[in-house]
């Protein structure tokens, strides 16, 4: 057994790997290509960095291509990203021209690879127009959208839709994100990589070291919320919940860990608001972490007694998955993908207000046995449902389904 | 029956199959109980199948409060506990086809609409999304020669394989039985008692892991392993 497969087998179970091997047999001699916009940085690249080698080790012929462009291209795609998540942004024509031209040039370079492939996964909007410029394509093309498309800015979506509609299928993370398109829209929730820096098991000494670094007392109870400083994540509500819970658990500490505010003016403003609202309370730790502080985040989540994700709007909420994987019950906002993961009284609690969050935090801290059991259940739930191997199985299923027909039942030898 | 029977006719072997489910958005959604009732009557039957059985194969908590999506949404979307209970008790194995099951769901919804003064509605961000599924069935290359082999093989089967042979079989086989009973009945004599025990294992109101454990216990106890 090769090293990567062996490592996943130890975590996800040998039966999971056996099933992947059986599914791969259905895709024998098929060529698969993934295209996204970066090899490093961001969730998509992180997942592809593991998914592609794992697919290769399982015996699939897979390659990973990247679209690169100039500043105008990335300015345009960043605007897409924000607009598709609801911001009302009008993107100037010169940026749209750069976007289309970059795709046209990339299509020229990659044509032999893309047109010859049996399955092409195009990730997110950046490379979406490639299909329009690959007229001799022979395989099935899938648009994999990782973005929360529940309330897109309509003008931007209308523009992008013209490139997406001709795909053979698309994949969205949640039903809420699916749009009107003339092809099957598969639903595949995202996953976490248990072997990544953000999720790998850590020595106790490292966790303690991280606590020391930020002045946290490991002997006192700790609440942690990891998320961007964004109003939809309700950081003010988290501080309110902390203050209410602190009345009953005076030793309580809170960490609000976020990052990326340097290039996000709104994030900076929200962070300042939270700091002002916290009034210099020494037990409230507002941490601005760099984008690559994966191990620090890992340690903070592991140091927590209870993890909060008190969002009032959320896509899938991978920070919830990460916390649950570390055996932490999550008190989460009753919204989006958090509802799929936080099962009341089993893996955590869904709440609708700071009062609700405080009530549940207090309950968990007063019932350590319950807290431990819920944490164990949470980790088991993630192992069964939200690891990378499950996402890979679903990709294989969609690939097999697209290659072998569109019926409700596809029976293969 | 599909073109892949669980039987390898030449050798009387039980061929272990497995399956994987792909969920597909239908684009249809309901924001209140009336819309739910209307759409239940017209939606693709594959969607009714998915919302009753798909929960077993997709990422979902193994021990849910209710076992079909309509009941879960009635409770958490519409906040109607009474309706959730009425929908939750519907047992899809009692219906010979999906249209009859669909009619039962619609009937329960109609009854509830008659009882309520206002149409129960969900929050705008929590509608009921109708989803359908594609199921891909494949051969695991594993074969069982004799009934005793079930006691060793079933515990090692994936949960989706258990789904295929014990649940999905009821859609495929003319007598609406599972593949294990069909195999025992068609290829061997003297296992009527085992088939009777298997017939009492209810497939719906538990998760697949629990179902596999129950089947394992049945086979191990029967074959003294």
ipTM for the predicted complex comes to 0.87
Closest-CA residue in chain B for A23? B138
Residues of B with CB under 8 A from a CB of A: 2-4, 18, 20-25, 27, 29, 46, 59-64, 76, 125-126, 129, 131-141, 156, 158, 160
Where is the domain boundary, B132, B154, B169?
A: B132
CATH number at residue A95: 3.40.50.2000
Q: What does chain B look like in DSSP terms, one character per residue?
A: --SS-SEETTTTEEEEEEEEEEEEEEEEEESBHHHHHHHHHHS-HHHHHHHHHGGGTSS--SS-SSSSHHHHHHHHTS--HHHHHHHHT--GGG-SSHHHHHHHHHHHHHHHHHH-SS--B--TT-PEEEEEEEEEEEEEEEEE-STTHHHHHGGGS-HHHHIIIIIIHHHHSTT---HHHHHHHHH-SS-HHHHHHHHTS-SSSS-HHHHHHHHHHHHHHHTT-
Distances from the Cα of A45 to the Cα of A37, A51, A52, A353, B39, angstroms: 8, 10, 10, 35, 39
B65 & B76 share domain: yes
Assigned token pair, A196: 């990544």
Q: Is B139 a member of any domain?
A: no
Q: Is A53 exposed, middle or buried (0-12, 13-18, 19+ CB in 10 A)?
A: middle
B34 & B74 share domain: yes
Q: Is A241 a member of any domain?
A: yes
Chain B residues within 8 A of A345 when measuring between CB atoms: none
Query: How far, in Å, CA of A350 to CA of A335, rounded?
Result: 8
Q: Is B59 a member of any domain?
A: yes
Q: CB B27 to CB A178 under 8 A? A: yes
The answer on pLDDT for B59 being more than 80 is no
B77 & B150 share domain: no
A32 & A148 share domain: yes
A82 & A187 share domain: yes
B216 & B150 share domain: yes
Judge whether A197 is closer than 8 Å to chain B, CB to CB: no
Q: Is A391 a member of any domain?
A: yes
Q: CB A409 to CB B139 under 8 A? A: no
pLDDT band at B17 (very low <50, low <70, confident <90, very high): very high
Q: Is A198 a member of any domain?
A: no
Q: Is A210 a member of any domain?
A: yes
Q: Is A412 a member of any domain?
A: no
Q: CB A381 to CB B135 under 8 A? A: no
Q: Is B203 a member of any domain?
A: yes
Q: Is A281 a member of any domain?
A: yes
The reported pLDDT for the residue numbered B4 is 43
A181 & A209 share domain: no
Query: How far, in Å, CA of A299 to CA of A226, rounded?
Result: 12
A22 & A144 share domain: yes
Closest-CA residue in chain B for A395? B22
B81 & B49 share domain: yes
> CB-CB: which of A172, A393, A411 is closest to B3?
A411
A52 & A102 share domain: yes
A149 & A57 share domain: yes
Q: Is B140 a member of any domain?
A: no
B118 & B28 share domain: yes
Phi (first) and psi of residue A395, to 5 degrees: -60, -45
Closest-CA residue in chain B for A407? B134
Q: Is B164 a member of any domain?
A: yes
Top pLDDT among B56 and A207 is at A207
A118 & A233 share domain: no
A331 & A372 share domain: yes
A181 & A293 share domain: no
Radius of gyration of chain B (CA): 19
pLDDT band at B43 (very low <50, low <70, confident <90, very high): very high
Closest-CA residue in chain A for B1? A411
B175 & B218 share domain: yes
Query: How far, in Å, CA of A354 to CA of A336, rounded?
Result: 18
Structural domain of A32: 3-191+387-404
B50 & B122 share domain: yes
The one-character DSSP state at A1 is -
Chain B residues within 8 A of A393 when measuring between CB atoms: 20
Structural domain of B158: 4-16+145-223
Spatial contact of B204 and B211, defined as CB atoms under 8 Å apart: no
Q: Is A410 a member of any domain?
A: no
Residues B31-53: b if buried by 16+ CB within 10 A, e if exposed: bbbebbbebbeebeebbbbbbbb
B8 & B110 share domain: no
Spatial contact of B148 and B221, defined as CB atoms under 8 Å apart: no
B24 & B11 share domain: no
Chain B residues within 8 A of A176 when measuring between CB atoms: 125, 129
Q: Is A57 a member of any domain?
A: yes
Where is the domain boundary, B101, B132, B163?
A: B132
Where is the domain boundary, B132, B160, B184?
A: B132
The reported pLDDT for the residue numbered B62 is 64
Assigned token pair, A34: 């993934």
Query: How far, in Å, CA of B41 to CA of B99, rounded?
Result: 9
A223 & A156 share domain: no
The answer on pLDDT for B5 being more than 70 is no
The reported pLDDT for the residue numbered B3 is 39
Percent of chain B with pLDDT over 90: 74
Spatial contact of A140 and A118, defined as CB atoms under 8 Å apart: yes
The reported pLDDT for the residue numbered A264 is 60
Assigned token pair, A129: 């127009």
Chain A residues within 8 A of B25 when measuring between CB atoms: 172, 175, 178, 185-187
B119 & B26 share domain: yes
The answer on pLDDT for B176 being more than 90 is no
A163 & A44 share domain: yes
Chain A residues within 8 A of B125 when measuring between CB atoms: 150, 176, 313, 335-336
Assigned token pair, A141: 């093309």
Q: How many domains does chain B have?
A: 2
Average pLDDT per 10 consecutive residues for chain A, totaling 413 residues: 85 90 91 93 84 94 95 92 88 96 97 97 97 96 93 95 97 93 95 94 98 97 94 95 96 90 68 95 95 93 98 90 98 92 94 97 97 96 92 95 86 80
Q: What phi-psi label fits residue A260: left (phi over 0), alpha (psi between -120 and 50 degrees) or beta?
A: left
Q: Which residue has the tokens 């829209």?
A: A185
Query: How far, in Å, CA of B161 to CA of A408, rounded?
Result: 18
Assigned token pair, A329: 């019950």
Q: Is B97 a member of any domain?
A: yes
Q: How many domains does chain A have?
A: 2
A54 & A133 share domain: yes
Spatial contact of A196 and A168, defined as CB atoms under 8 Å apart: no
Residue-wise pLDDT for B118-166, tens only, equals: 999 999 889 999 999 999 999 998 999 999 999 999 999 998 999 999 9
The answer on pLDDT for B10 being more than 70 is no
């Amino acid at each position: 057994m090769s090293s990567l497969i062996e490592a996943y087998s130890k975590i996800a179970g040998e039966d999971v790997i056996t099933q992947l091997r059986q599914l791969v047999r259905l895709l024998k001699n098929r060529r698969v290509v993934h295209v996204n916009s970066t090899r490093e940085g961001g969730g998509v690249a992180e997942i592809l960095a593991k998914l592609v080698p794992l697919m290769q080790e399982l015996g699939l012929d897979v390659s990973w291509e990247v679209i690169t462009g100039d500043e105008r291209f990335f300015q345009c795609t960043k605007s897409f990203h924000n607009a598709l998540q609801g911001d009302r942004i009008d993107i100037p024509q010169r940026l749209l021209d750069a976007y289309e031209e970059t795709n046209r040039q990339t299509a020229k370079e990659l044509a032999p690879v893309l047109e010859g492939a049996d399955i092409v996964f195009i990730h997110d909007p950046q490379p979406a127009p490639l299909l329009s410029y690959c007229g001799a394509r022979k395989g099935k093309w899938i648009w994999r959208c990782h973005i929360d498309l529940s309330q897109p800015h309509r003008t931007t979506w209308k523009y992008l839709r013209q490139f997406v509609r001709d795909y053979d299928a698309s994949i969205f993370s949640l039903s809420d994100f699916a749009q009107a398109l003339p092809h099957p829209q598969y639903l595949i929730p995202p996953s976490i990589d248990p072997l990544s820096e953000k999720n790998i098991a850590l020595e106790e000494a490292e966790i303690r070291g991280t606590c020391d670094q930020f002045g946290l007392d490991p002997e006192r109870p700790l609440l942690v919320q990891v998320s961007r400083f964004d109003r939809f994540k309700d950081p003010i509500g988290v501080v309110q919940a902390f203050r209410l819970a602190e009345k009953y658990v005076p030793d309580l500490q809170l960490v609000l860990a976020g990052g990326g505010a340097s290039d996000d003016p709104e994030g900076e403003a929200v962070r300042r608001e939270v700091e002002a609202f916290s009034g210099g309370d020494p037990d409230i730790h507002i941490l601005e972490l760099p984008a690559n502080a994966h191990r620090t985040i890992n340690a903070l989540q592991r140091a927590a007694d209870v993890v909060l994700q008190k969002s009032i709007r959320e896509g899938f909420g991978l920070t919830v998955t990460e916390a649950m994987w570390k055996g932490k019950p999550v008190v989460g906002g009753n919204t989006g993908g958090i509802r799929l993961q936080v099962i009341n009284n089993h893996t955590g609690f869904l709440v609708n207000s700071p009062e609700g969050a405080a009530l549940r935090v207090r309950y968990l801290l007063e019932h350590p046995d319950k807290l431990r059991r819920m944490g164990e259940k949470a980790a088991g739930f993630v192992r069964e449902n939200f690891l990378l191997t499950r996402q890979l199985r679903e990709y294989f299923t969609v690939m097999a389904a697209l290659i072998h027909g569109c019926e409700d039942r596809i029976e293969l030898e | 029956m599909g073109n892949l029977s669980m039987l390898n006719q030449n050798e009387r072997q039980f061929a272990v199959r497995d399956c994987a489910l792909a969920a597909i958005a239908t684009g249809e959604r309901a924001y209140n109980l009336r819309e739910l009732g209307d759409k239940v009557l017209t939606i693709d039957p594959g969607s009714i199948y998915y919302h009753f059985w798909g929960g077993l194969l997709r990422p979902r908590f193994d021990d849910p409060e209710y076992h079909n999506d309509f009941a879960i949404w009635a409770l958490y979307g519409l906040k109607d506990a009474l309706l959730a209970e009425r929908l939750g008790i519907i047992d899809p194995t009692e219906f010979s086809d999906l249209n009859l099951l669909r009619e039962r769901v619609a009937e329960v919804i109609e009854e509830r609409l008659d009882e309520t003064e206002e149409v129960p509605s969900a929050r705008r961000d929590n509608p009921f999304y109708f989803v359908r599924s594609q199921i891909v069935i494949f051969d695991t290359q594993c074969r069982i020669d004799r009934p005793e082999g079930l006691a060793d093989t079933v515990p090692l089967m994936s949960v989706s394989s258990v789904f295929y042979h014990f649940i999905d079989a009821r859609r495929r086989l003319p007598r609406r039985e599972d593949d294990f009973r069909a195999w025992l009945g068609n290829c061997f004599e003297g296992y009527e008692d085992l088939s009777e025990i298997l017939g009492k294992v209810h497939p719906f109101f538990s998760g697949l892991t629990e179902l596999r454990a129950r089947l394992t216990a049945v086979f191990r106890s029967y074959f003294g392993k």
